[in-house]
Structure 1
């Protein structure tokens, strides 16, 4: 939802909408390609956790920046967009590695459904800005941070063999 929220509110950051959209597009290409190296260097779990926290924090920090500083707001939004784009990419790789083979297609289908639900709900969250201007960004910031805390409970999958059955998952020692 944070990814779609930043994308749909591109005109609200105070700078030229076309320039901001161009920057967002360039940053997204950079984020998606750099996420590959990030996952190899830091692992899937910590890459996912870090990008979610960074994206969420940027959305929350934007709330406290005055509207008469559009460059600062746009820079924070660009960093948030980069982090959420990387998190979006990492989530698909990490999810595929977490599901055992017997559930992988169904699991990835559910991941796709829920990611698109975020895109569907985002315009409704934007409408909450009529009640309080900070509410959309607060939601876009808090949800990724909560998701990152839940991500801390998941196992690392970098360098691990993909699990074939649910029993393979049950036999795996749980990290503490």
Structure 2
């Protein structure tokens, strides 16, 4: 049986990519892609290995992954937002990325954070996903009124990231919430 103490977190799965079971994978660490043969996901309270059928790079920290036995969009959608693990013994993490403190913060790390607009001091909503389907990467934010807003992932708008309280403060351009 696989236990958490044998695992290393490497990122999370995003939304399905297409209809054939491929899924976006957001990686928080540099991985030796050629040696990555399987990932581990928690399914119904146990850690389950999934073997990788194919994997290709989409962006610097995003990959499109096909897993054995995941054959359609519905099956892939069931894995959305699952944390991704590898067996520590698989040694797939690049040597220069082993120190977690030096790895930086990725947009995908902010999923689940609450966005606060600095100008109004009001809560905008919670980041539920990252949209990287266009040239400009966007936070997908669910507002308290159940609407969805898209905010640019751009350093010039981010004023503070409080990882302890899971709050992202932003200086938003006027009118962006009305789009």
The question of a shared fold, defined as TM-score above 0.5 by the shorter chain, is answered with: no
| The structure with more strand, counted as a fraction of residues | 2
TM-score between both structures, scaled by the size of structure 2 = 0.26
| The structure with more helix, counted as a fraction of residues | 1
Structure showing greater relative contact order (alpha-carbon pairs closer than 8 Å, 6 or more residues apart): 1
